Structure 1
Amino acid sequence: MIATLALWLSVVAAGLWSGLLLTLTTILHPMFVRQPGRGFATECAHFLPIARRSPTNYALVILLIVAPAVALLGLREAPSGVPFVLTAAGLVATVTTWLISLLRSEPNYDVILSWDPDALPNDWQQAQRRWIRLNWTRAALTWTAFALFVLATHAHLTT
């Protein structure tokens, strides 16, 4: 029972996070990148502080790590079983996403937020490209985790 509930929570959390990253990469990226440097810096100054401190972010990140960990505890009787292996792989993907956010994205946000939009540094486009690359990397990992959790849930419910 606990494994089933935790797997469903993993699917929901990864699905919601996947949707957020889909919006970021396919809607916000094109909007922000089409703007000149001043526009990009100004938009990020509005967007990043809210996005970084959103209670939704905290709740989903906690759920993305705790729910699959709980599911693994519930599935521990069959550690070589498909649901366990898929859930473990999904957890690795979510933890990797969190580490990228913590160690790479957050410092890049600090760089972007330090800019004066009227006097951008000469290398501002490098930070912009890094922002885009890191978002796509986190999106791909989250989409992978979502698929793994869906497959793990299906395998668990059909065994």
Structure 2
Amino acid sequence: MLAEIGLGLAVVVAGLWSGLLLTLTTILHPIYAGQDGRGFATELRLFLPVARRSPTNHVLVSGLVLAPALALVGLRDEPASTEFVLTATGLALTVLGPLLVSRFLAEPNYEVILGWDPAAVPADWRDTRRRYFTLNWLRAALTWIAFGLFLAAAHAHLT
């Protein structure tokens, strides 16, 4: 029962987080890429504080860790099973992407961006914007792979 609940929640949470990152990378990135330094800095000053405090962000990232962990507890008697291995790999990717990349790479980059005066962005602002885009794509790719792994694990468990 724990495996089914954990896998179901992992699929739902990873699917929701995947959609959020799809929106960020394929809709907001092109908007931000077309802006000059002032526009980029101004937009991120509006977006980042809301995104960082969003309960949705905290609930989904917590769910990305807790749901597959719950599934693994339910699958603990079958550590060599396909669903255990897929779920453990998905969990590792979500810890790596949404947690570690965010905490240790993206958050410091956000601080740099939020520290800019939009009227006088630094000369290397494009490098910081490129890093912002790259880190978002990295987190997105890791989450999308994890989502696929959770789907495959749920399918393997149900068949």
Q: TM-score range by the shorter chain?
A: over 0.9
Partner of 1:16: 16
Q: CA deviation at 1:2?
A: 1.1
Q: Deviations over 1:82-137 (max 9, x none)?
A: 00000000000000011000000000000000000001111111110000000000
Partners of 2:72 and 2:5 in 1: how far apart? 12
Partners of 2:106 and 2:24 in 1: how far apart? 14
Q: TM-score scaled by structure 1?
A: 0.98
Q: Which amino acid aligns with 2:64?
A: L
Partners of 2:158 and 2:27 in 1: how far apart? 35
Partners of 1:58 and 1:64 in 2: how far apart? 10
Partner of 1:30: 30
Q: What do you get for the CA RMSD once the two structures are aligned? A: 0.4
Partners of 1:137 and 1:63 in 2: how far apart? 19
Note the residue ranges of structure 1 that are not aligned, 5 or more in a row: none
Note the residue ranges of structure 2 that are not aligned, 5 or more in a row: none
Give the length in aligned residue pairs: 158
Partners of 2:35 and 2:104 in 1: how far apart? 27
Q: TM-score scaled by structure 2?
A: 0.98
Partners of 2:32 and 2:43 in 1: how far apart? 7
**Percent identity for Structure 1 against Structure 2:** 63
Q: CA deviation at 1:46?
A: 0.3
Runs of 4+ in structure 1 deviating by more than 6 angstroms, as ranges, are none
Partner of 2:129: 128
Q: Which amino acid aligns with 2:125?
A: W
Partners of 1:105 and 1:45 in 2: how far apart? 15
